[in-house]
Amino acid sequence: MIQNQLSHINTDDGTSTLYSSKYKAHYHSLYGSFTESKHIFIDAGLAHVGGEEISILEVGLGTGLNAALTAQWAIANSKKINYHAIELYPLGPEHIKQLNFSQSLKGNASALWEQICYANWETEQQIDEHFCLLKQSIDFTQWQPNRMYNLVYFDAFAPDDQPEMWTVEEFKKIYNALLPQSVLVTYSAKGIVKRALSEVGFTIKRLEGPTGKKHILRATKSN
Ligand SMILES: C[S@@+](CC[C@H](N)C(=O)[O-])C[C@H]1O[C@@H](n2cnc3c(N)ncnc32)[C@H](O)[C@@H]1O
């Protein structure tokens, strides 16, 4: 098995990211981790779905940045969020300590990020009255859903780097675990991704991307 060596990099907006030697890929855009995460997952995803209680699935917890910004949003907007994150390679403390989110994230996001990073795995943790977290260390392609979601952050490495995550079969699994009018957001607007999402029944909307990325996708389950 190829070792997953991680190295640390600072992105253009001053927030950290990681590079995986196994996938030869960065965890975030080098134009800005925070900027990318907020634009795609918070503004195009979370702020778009309605309801007082939102159940989110994240494919690829990584550094926990999407989770921290989601917890911050939940508190600021007085919504209740149940957050289920899947990650095959949980970060050890040596990598968590090198990420600069404790200093670079604004307001309560830095403290929330630390709580999320050090929360136990495989058991639900109430991080705040508005944010309940379940971190599960499992291979997404082997995982089977046993709850329903309103929103999916699909944040695997890119289709060229790990094609096995972006298949019709995997998207079908997600589609079946979504409530009507639910949404999947992802940073990849590649043709192969659009075709796979359409084939399982999603209605696709191409949205403007963050700096350095022309388009992102928001896919909706209509019924
Ligand atoms: C683009 S990064 C995610 C960045 C992350 N959302 C964040 O906020 O930092 C992709 C993540 O998917 C994880 N991953 C790769 N293959 C996986 C698999 N088969 N199942 C679950 N997670 C996987 C990687 O370890 C990595 O953390």
69 in contact with ligand 1, CB cutoff 6 A: no
Residue 28 Cα: closest atom of ligand 1: 1
Q: Which of 160, 215, 159, 191 is nearest to 39 (CA)?
A: 215
Q: What's the CA gap between 177 and 21, in Å, rounded?
A: 32
pLDDT digits (tens, 9 = 90+) for 164-221: 999 999 999 999 999 999 999 999 999 999 999 999 999 999 999 999 999 999 999 9
Residue with tokens 């289709």: 159
pLDDT digits (tens, 9 = 90+) for 92-138: 999 999 999 999 999 999 999 999 999 999 999 999 999 999 999 99
Q: What's the CA gap between 165 and 41, in Å, rounded?
A: 18
Q: Name the closest-CA residue to atom 26, ligand 1.
A: 62
Q: What's the CA gap between 9 and 19, in Å, rounded?
A: 7
Domain ranges of the chain: 31-91+107-220
The fold adopted by the segment(s) 31-91+107-220 is: Rossmann fold (3.40.50)
- Read off the DSSP letter of residue 219: E
Q: What's the CA gap between 114 and 91, in Å, rounded?
A: 12
